[in-house]
Structure 1
Amino acid sequence: MKYTVKGTQEEGVQACAKHFIGNEQETQRSNVIYPDGTEVAAISSNIDDRTLHELYLPPFADAVKAGVATVMCGYNRLNQTYTCQNSKLLNGILKEELGFLGYVVSDFYATHDGVPAIEAGLDMNMPGPWDSMTAAMTYLGGNNASLWGQNLTTSVGNGSLSEERLDDMIRRIMTPYFHLGQNEGFPSVDPSGYFITAVTAGYIQTSRGAPPARDVRGDHAKLIRRIGAEATVLLKNVNSTLPLKTPLSIGVFGNDAGLPADGMYVLGDDPPYPGVPRSGYEMGTLSVGGGSGSGRSTYVVSPLNALMARAKNFGGRVQYILDNALIAKGDFSTLYPTPEVCLVFLKTWCGEGTDRASFENDWNSTLVVERVASHCPNTVVVTHSAGVNTMPWAENENVTAILAAHYPGQESGNSIVDVLFGDINPSGRLPYTIPRREADYALPITNMTGDQSRNASAWQSDFTEGLYIDYRHFDAMNITPLYDFGYGLSYTTFEIVGTPSADLLQKELPPFPPSSQVEPGGIPGSGMKCSKSRLSSVTQDQSPAQLLCSST
């Protein structure tokens, strides 16, 4: 998290590290109160101390070291206690062990009590009201009922909350405010924010008469476009299929290639927005995910539009079929001539409050790729997804290139076209391992059913895998993945000069890892290389065989 924190706070904006900690699944992430009054607690992530400290804590330690302003606790429980009311977690590990000096803020409605939560280390309760219905009343001018608010004032007055702890909360909240200079020349709150939030959540039905949103875009589009392109991961590139030259006939396939059919903002199935399929909207490129990771785009450049604009420059023709159901039938009689290159765009919806049911891309993706590849011997697949996808078609000889573009934002089409035609060298690396089969991960979500799900404390997620997640799991089980953690190709070749590895037999490690330099070569053009260092050790303490210790 270090560079994200520094980059954000260098601009005078407070960075927030979340969720602290163990929010590793969305199913039953929050407590549920049924109409009959039965309350079922949120899932408990049961993690042993070593695994917590060695695996899940380091990113937060990294953020604290970088001076992060605030840390957000989550909805889940950790070892049976809600994270926003877990004194060992907030007071002990975060504030004492890591020396965190900022403030701990709850996620929306993740606060379960008043003084006990404060004494456990929670410094700010968000958004104030204790549930969405009360929040709706607040937006509409009603009372701001809160577990804190006036209750906090009363608690200080009757001595149940010490003034010393109150002062500590205030210091922690105000220190980042002054440290980042937010008291001087900081922009005022956009007045449209209230209406955007209220309309989106359904608290009010119209924004007629609301002030327009403040335009702060500047030349951000250039940066978004470049980041989207450079962060793309090139997974396969047979015989230098990419970058494309000037193909006179281009085929574009898949429901992820065109513009969204329903405006610039899609909620998907994130509660409380029913009615949209689990896999999000059917037609249109997926540039962002759902839930709090979503946003309202002022425009979206689709891959199809960007490809048409590029092809026009060299007289190319773009043919397309965007309906996945039609593609799955395998009837390509409307295409003539057969495209020189066929670009298939796939997507995977990812939101908030629910877990993905499968690693496969959505909307019958496997059959779509197979149908196109059977018709086109030069098929390039582009995926827009938030994380791991299985790719059973990856070794199809007619699939000549694969690009994982993730969620590139509103310049989606321009970003991928810049990569396809070599204007920008894809430099992304996988932050996860892609398996050959979904079963290779063997870590399903905890999902209770029937009467068991109504048991107040039934939702228990025991992290029995310990330290063995992702590439550590694959190493331990001797499973060969499709694409390894950190994998990513380039249009440029690189030579590592120096000492890429060394045997260390002494008990203590040297102060610095083996030194090496990365020098570009091969295909001319700019390129960036992220080299990884892995530490292998022979131990008797159940440590993973290899650990990623640095990357540059």
Structure 2
Amino acid sequence: MAPLTSLVLVSLLAQPFLASPVPDAESDLSARSALPADYQSPPYYPTPPGGWMPDWADAYAKAHAVVSNMTLAEKVNLTTGTGLYMGPCVGQTGSALRFGIPNLCLQDSPLGVRDTDHNTAFPAGITVGATFNKELMYARGVGLGEEARGKGVNVLLGPVVGPLGRKPRGGRIWEGFGADPVLQAVGGAQTIKGMQSTGAIASLKHYIGYEQEMSRMSSVVSVGYSSNIDDRTLHEMYLWPFAEGVRAGVGSLMTSYNDVNGSACSQNSKLLNDILKDELGFQGFVMTDWLGQYAGVASALAGLDVAMPGDGAIPLLGDSYWGSELSRSILNGTVPLNRLNDMVTRIVATWYKFGQDKDYPLPNFSANTADQTGEIYPGALLSPIGVVNQYVNVEGDHNITARAVAREAITLLKNDQNILPFRHNDSLKVFGTDAGPNPNGPNSCSDKGCDSGVLTMGWGSGSANLPYLVTPQEAIGNLSNNAKFYITDTFPSDVVASPTDIAIVFINADSGENYITVDGNPGDRLEAGLNAWHNGDDLVKAAAQKFSNVVVVVHTVGPILMEEWIDLAPVKAVLVAHLPGQEAGWSLTDILFGDYSPSGHMPYSIPRSESDYPESVGLIDQPIGQIQDTFTERLYIDYRHFMNANITPRYPFGHGLSYTTFTFSSPSLSVVTPLDSEYPPARPSKGSTPVYSQKIPAASEVAWSSTHFTRIWRYLYPYLDFPQLITAADTYQYPDGYTTQPKPAPRAGGAQGGNPALFDTAFSVQVQVENTGSRHGKAVAQLYVALPSSLGLDTPPLQLRQFEKTKDLAPGQSEILTLDITRKDLSVWDVVVQDWKAPVNGEGVNIWVGQSVEDLAVICEVGGKCSMA
């Protein structure tokens, strides 16, 4: 292959990276549309083996001892799902029972254990991001992990840090933490640490460039879109939260459905072998999204470790790209045995790493039915019947965490005349179906595939059953004896308003995953755009015509336009409650009635018009041919774009008001680790990795004649008929650039997440935050950096790099917050050198601290002093 440094560079921001299309004789999807010019890069083979990180050494040693004694069938069994609906979970691997390794249960979702009972429905990721509270991010992760473990889930499929939120109408942006890579990174890393502290394995997803729902998947009749991303944009934006997740020690990672630069993510050797497993030093295992494997040999060689749910191009036929076909590929030599050994070792090492060999429970629920007894293998034509649900209650006291997250996320955008908080005897008139329940029951719509009642989460695999739901109607009714409810989205004609009445209008905007269409929206907000659903804008305007005091409460998956009513004089206050989960009502009344001051901040900007966004971030609906979605806006999404284009949004990223006031003072900047060179010091050398015999196993190890059990039709097994007749493949068309010669270790690597020197604290900023108001409250200090032009690259005016939240401060009380900045925080990705480049000694860097990207009270000039802006 040609080294990256020999590629022709494009100007502007960076050389596009990629993986050119990977042809595979097995795949029906080898044909790809022509890529835009310059979006190409060399393939990267072979897969770097795992096991060289010191803190994974014990787990890999245990795995090596086991894998060394496994048969071919046992190895293949652990890499391949058993098939769709072939077990209690949404996906499960085969087992290796001789070594105590059961079928590993993989289950959604990022906000709770999906398709089960007696679980907690936590607030969604976007809500967690709005808290800007690292402790709550971690606590929610612990709750998710405890519930996954309690249900017998080995791998809980979350957190989500992709999509990043590039497309404001994108269907699944609510599953992540916000439209900024650092906010996503911190939310993801804290969640991972919390989850995995319980022994459950987190699965960071979706890797990478998965920014819209429509045309996301490839199949026998279509090809998913290609996200075309240049190298610098990839590293500085979309890869950033994945790097932090790997640095946090995440055990697994899920690829996305789409292509990146023309190569499917699940068989993209550049993404998996080079960037993830070499540069970022990922030690766990890589899995596909469900039915997101599009080839057999090509995906194995490109770095895939687990195929989920195991089926081939058409599910429920009993066919697989792996399973028995992977056994065949080992016997005929097309897939090297050392690649299979690494795949299995990564899986088993992760199982050991998180202590799942020690009293970890088996699944006690079924994702397929709520009945106590049912089919054990629903995907089979004939299945044995047994107890499939034990109704184990795993909720514990997680409702406390869920309520705290939902409450601290609530973002006060406007509060004219201090209309909030309410008094308990205020005369309230409440409008909108979003204040009430789903008339058919909180879980009546499969995977939340409807917008009825208060919006607690979006729809799709990222949802979970609600064990109960406290609606705003119920909570307000319990706290006020002077509230009247109109649970309708059409303003009633007979409403009488007095001068002392306050109208509370509830509106929402929904979205979700592509396999469900709601009100004409196929996951993405195609029909609804960025407007409120169910004529919400008209409901607010009608209330404003009748009442002199209107408070708007918004539950939304992402940006929502407010221009039709935000400047109307009666609209005194606006609260964005995001997606609150089961505690929707209580978390809201905690704020409405002043038991707590709001402390949420916007995890994305709210524009004045959708046309304020760059055209390239719009949805692409193209019925014929592969969509080429080229990220021409590069680094400039959300607030980076608005600032660069000199566009003032309605509410900026990070904005959030309180019932009290805060002042920042006494800022100081100290040098911790001097930036005495442009590039980090040389990376540490890799440690040793497991070594196995390269002798091809005996064909008898995968012969059906050697088994002694009754086959389940459609269940995916590693066995073959007459494997002894398989001979070495005379010819096989390997992917372009395929080699078994290991590559030199990339200079930007060296540890999980990259060169450990990248994460040395370069500077530390301290600032005193004082509550100068009359109520208790929490403040958020957001730190942004402005990089100097001396780096020779176009960089956004400001970029979030750190944040901290105070404790609850009483009036007059203060707290000193410390915000640390790493070498990487002050670096850009050098596409020629292939490393992170920082200004020596931080010369020319300006550091800003404040309460939003447009409300910055402190400026620190590196090499100079800090002052009040």
TM-score by length of 2: 0.56
Percent identity (aligned): 37
Map residues 189-338 of structure 1 onto 2, 5 A cutoff. Answer: 189-196=363-370, 211=389, 213-265=391-443, 267=445, 280-281=450-451, 283-311=452-480, 316-324=481-489, 326-327=490-491, 331=493, 333-335=494-496
Structure 2 letter corresponding to 1:523: S
Map residues 85-124 of structure 1 onto 2, 5 A cutoff. Answer: 85-124=267-306
Structure 1 letter corresponding to 2:579: Y
Deviation at 1:174, TM superposition (A): 1.8
Deviation at 1:508, TM superposition (A): 7.6
Q: Do the aligned residues in 2 keep the contact of 1:156 with 1:163 (CA within 8 Å)?
A: yes
Pick closer, same or farther for the CA change 1:339–1:178 going to 2, 3 Å: farther
Aligned to 1:138: none
Structure 2 letter corresponding to 1:166: L
Map residues 465-480 of structure 1 onto 2, 5 A cutoff. Answer: 465-480=633-648
Question: Which of the two has higher C-alpha Rg?
Answer: 2
Deviation at 1:535, TM superposition (A): 2.3
Please state if 1:517 is matched with 2:690: no
Q: Do the aligned residues in 1 keep the contact of 2:431 with 2:504 (CA within 8 Å)?
A: yes
Q: Do the aligned residues in 1 keep the contact of 2:658 with 2:777 (CA within 8 Å)?
A: no
Pick closer, same or farther for the CA change 1:16–1:242 going to 2, 3 Å: same
Structure 1 letter corresponding to 2:334: S
Distance 2:281 2:388 in 1: 44
Pick closer, same or farther for the CA change 1:533–1:448 going to 2, 3 Å: closer
2:308 aligned counterpart, secondary structure: coil
Map residues 4-403 of structure 1 onto 2, 5 A cutoff. Answer: 4-33=191-220, 39-130=221-312, 133-134=315-316, 144-196=318-370, 211=389, 213-265=391-443, 267=445, 280-281=450-451, 283-311=452-480, 316-324=481-489, 326-327=490-491, 331=493, 333-335=494-496, 340-353=501-514, 354-357=523-526, 358-392=529-563, 393-403=565-575
Q: Do the aligned residues in 2 keep the contact of 1:537 with 1:546 (CA within 8 Å)?
A: no
Deviation at 1:239, TM superposition (A): 2.2
Paired residues in the alignment total 510
Query: What does the per-residue CA deviation read over 1:35-72, in whole Å, with 9 as the maximum and x for residues that have no partner?
Result: xxxx3210000111111111111100110111111111
2:206 aligned counterpart, secondary structure: strand
Query: What does the per-residue CA deviation read over 1:182-203, in whole Å, with 9 as the maximum and x for residues that have no partner?
Result: 221222212333425999xx97
Deviation at 1:120, TM superposition (A): 0.3
Aligned to 2:794: 542
1:67 aligned counterpart, secondary structure: coil
Pick closer, same or farther for the CA change 1:513–1:182 going to 2, 3 Å: same
Distance 1:181 1:412 in 2: 35
Distance 1:471 1:507 in 2: 31
Q: Which structure ranks higher in relative contact order (CA pairs < 8 Å, sequence separation ≥ 6)?
A: 2
Q: Do the aligned residues in 2 keep the contact of 1:128 with 1:144 (CA within 8 Å)?
A: no
Structure 2 unaligned blocks of 5 or more: 1-187, 515-522, 679-760, 805-869
Distance 2:401 2:193 in 1: 18
Pick closer, same or farther for the CA change 1:145–1:361 going to 2, 3 Å: same
Aligned to 1:36: none
Structure 2 letter corresponding to 1:305: E
Structure 1 unaligned blocks of 5 or more: 34-38, 135-142
TM-score by length of 1: 0.86
Aligned to 1:140: none
Deviation at 1:371, TM superposition (A): 0.7
Structure 2 letter corresponding to 1:498: S
Structure 1 letter corresponding to 2:291: Y
2:454 aligned counterpart, secondary structure: coil
Distance 2:535 2:314 in 1: 35
* Cα RMSD (Å): 2.7
Deviation at 1:364, TM superposition (A): 0.9
Structure 2 letter corresponding to 1:493: T
Pick closer, same or farther for the CA change 1:6–1:132 going to 2, 3 Å: farther
Deviation at 1:295, TM superposition (A): 1.4
Distance 2:465 2:270 in 1: 39
Map residues 474-489 of structure 1 onto 2, 5 A cutoff. Answer: 474-489=642-657
2:654 aligned counterpart, secondary structure: coil
Please state if 1:415 is matched with 2:587: yes
Q: Do the aligned residues in 1 keep the contact of 2:508 with 2:556 (CA within 8 Å)?
A: yes
